[in-house]
Amino acid sequence: MKVWIKLLVGTGLGIAVAVFVPGDLAGVFGWLQGFVLQIGRYALVPLMFFSLTIGIHQLRKEGQFWGLFLRNLALMFAVSVVVILVGLVTALAFLRLRIPIRPEEEAGIAGLDIPGGILEVFPSNMFAALSGDGSFLLPIYVFAFFLGMALAYDNAHGRPIAALVDSLSRVFFRVASFFIDISGLCLIALSAYWMIRFRSALQLGFFTSLMAILVLLTLILAFVVAPLCLYLIRPKTKPWKALYGSLGPAIASFFSGDMNFSLLILVGHSKEMGIRRRASALTLAMFSTFCRAGSAMVAAVAFIVVFNSYSFINITFAEIVSVGLASLGISFLLARHSGDGAYVALAVLCLGFGRFQEGYLLLRPVAFFLVGVGTLLDLMIASFANYAMARIGGLENGPS
């Protein structure tokens, strides 16, 4: 059975279960969510480390590394600008939601902590990069970059190590394939917990228009704009192939809200689509880490709601530009937040505007929805970029 069908069936079963689950069992499903997310991440670190290492080594030997790297950088910036701009314009034009301000207890949301993140990227021991909990993958990618580049400089000594890394990459892909195959079971717990929270959010009645706008934006960006842009690249391609290959990871990303959980499934789909490992490893590592435009766009839209709720004065053009630029910057800085990117981005935006320091708490009941939509868009952007970069660089339908 195709993976996306398993995920869809698992989602349907989970939602059906949630319909008959009493609200006091939400804590049980919350624990199950954490458990299955750990299962989904279990094989990701070794797979990405060894695949990225050998991918960089092969690209470097063929003289393709810097070209692919720079094309990815340019595409990440362009996509981030367009997605955030579309989100802001749509929110300003159609979203007039005001949420009643209620006293809220501080939720203890974490900031970006950029200095702490830099220290984690370069620990005092290089091997310590592999000993994390798997939520922050940038230290692993940096380690893989240095190792892959070093292997390409000394063929005599690097050849046996490269062969070992290549073998380990393939072996861990087989290990990961098992967890991809059982992801449908994981979606039962994830979608059930999602439905329990969604049902509670609907009962409040404040957030319907916000959720509707975000769903509309997601459909337009992920299923219309992205395929159209892919259709325009050369050599000519079939965007529906990329869209079909993204269905499974998209389902997983929306109901899990976790980029790393979904990334494992996307890696498997990339191989099925014929994208060479050397291309997909680099592109997916870069986009899943630094291009979180979907989460930043959701945060920007949600911030407009916060602004409307706290102020009866229309937002000025200067403030719109400030929100857009801040969202753009944040979109490149969410590497440490694979499972709560959109809500963290919203919190950072609110904290950056002194009048709304606690504004993100107004949207805490739908934080799971914001995170799910943001992660879905992040995942779809990474998937389409992966296919586009492989197509442009001639890195598909061939050996790894």
Please provide residue 314's backbone torsions phi and psi, each rounded to the nearest 5 degrees: -60, 145
Pick the range with the lowest mean pLDDT from 23-27, 74-78, 173-177.
23-27
Pick from 273, 256, 283: which is nearest to 341 by CA? 256
Q: How many domains does the chain have?
A: 1
Q: Assign residue 347 the CATH number of its domain.
A: 1.10.3860.10
Residue 111 lies in a domain: yes
Q: Do the beta carbons of residue 322 and residue 107 sit within 8 Å?
A: no
Residue 16 lies in a domain: yes
Residue 399 lies in a domain: no
Distance separating alpha carbons of residues 221 and 384, to the nearest angstrom: 11
Residues 316-353 as b or e (16 or more Cβ within 10 Å = b): eeeebeebbebbbebbbbbbbbbbbbbbbbbbbbbbeb
Structure tokens at 125: 């021991």
Residue 225's pLDDT is 87
Give 314-318 contacts, CB < 8 A, sequence gap 24+. 315/92
> What is the rounded (10 degree) CA torsion for 319, 321, 326, 332?
160
Residue 400 lies in a domain: no
More confident: 133 or 51: 51
pLDDT tens for each residue of 286-338: 999 999 999 999 999 999 999 888 877 778 889 899 999 999 999 999 999 99
Task: Determine the structural domain holding residue 37 and report its residue range.
Answer: 3-393
Structure tokens at 226: 């992205």
pLDDT tens for each residue of 84-103: 999 999 998 887 777 877 66
More confident: 234 or 388: 388
Residue 302's pLDDT is 94
Residues 119-129 have a mean pLDDT of: 87
Residue 398 lies in a domain: no
Q: Which of the 8 DSSP states describes residue 358?
A: T
Specify the DSSP element, H or E, that contains 120.
helix 114-121
Residue 285 lies in a domain: yes
> What is the rounded (10 degree) CA torsion for 346, 351, 354, 359?
50
More confident: 82 or 308: 82
CB atoms within 10 A of CB 63: 8
Q: Do the beta carbons of residue 338 and residue 306 sit within 8 Å?
A: no
The answer to whether residue 173 scores a pLDDT higher than 90 is yes
Q: Do the beta carbons of residue 196 and residue 24 sit within 8 Å?
A: no
Pick from 148, 158, 160, 168: which is nearest to 60 by CA? 148
